[in-house]
Amino acid sequence: MEERPFSDISFEHFLNEEKLMGSKCQKCGALYAPPRPICIKCYGSEMAWVELKGKGKLAAFTSIAVGPPAMVAEGYDRKNPYISGVVELEEGVRVDARIAGIDGTKPEAIKIGTPLTVEFLHRGEGEDLKTILTFKPR
């Protein structure tokens, strides 16, 4: 079984492997993604990894015109904003993610509740590999 700590770093390593993983409290069943080592509902510390299906719906979003340098380097700016959102997964947890496949210049066309599916956007390679958790309409 997985021996990785229930941390953001493990969450990111799993993203590099194209796995969306959360932690599930073995005492009360609460689910967390990114994972938590301690349950905030029952304070239980027995967690187990669960792989999430990566399907959900858009719960909230923001159109970002002035992003961090990494996003500017990818060509996002005032004329080409990107969408950052909160996705409610079928498993009932909410994750922050980038939303792709939606025109950032027309946020009024974006509907809360849009069905989404996960996409793993890889940047860099080897030691520098980073994966951006992204969702796109399905």
In the bound state with Zn ion, the residue whose beta carbon lies nearer, of 48 and 70, is 48
40 interacts with Zn ion by CB under 5 A: no
44 interacts with Zn ion by CB under 5 A: yes
Dihedral sign, CA of 32, 34, 37, 38? negative
In the bound state with Zn ion, the residue whose beta carbon lies nearer, of 47 and 118, is 47
Write the interaction track for Zn ion spanning residues 9-28; mark x where CB under 5 A is met and - where it is not.
Answer: ----------------x-xx
**Distance of alpha carbon 54 from alpha carbon 73, whole angstroms:** 27
Tell the smallest beta-carbon distance from residue 43 to Zn ion (Å): 7
Span of 10-18, 34-42, 80-88, 110-118 interacting with Zn ion by CB under 5 A: 34-42
Tell the smallest beta-carbon distance from residue 40 to Zn ion (Å): 8
In the bound state with Zn ion, the residue whose beta carbon lies nearer, of 16 and 45, is 45
β-pairing, 21-25 vs 47-51, is antiparallel
CB-CB contact of 63 with 107 (8 Å): yes
**Distance of alpha carbon 46 from alpha carbon 68, whole angstroms:** 36
**Distance of alpha carbon 34 from alpha carbon 8, whole angstroms:** 6
**Distance of alpha carbon 20 from alpha carbon 94, whole angstroms:** 12
Tell the smallest beta-carbon distance from residue 93 to Zn ion (Å): 13
Binding site for Zn ion (CB under 5 A): 25, 27-28, 30, 39, 41-42, 44
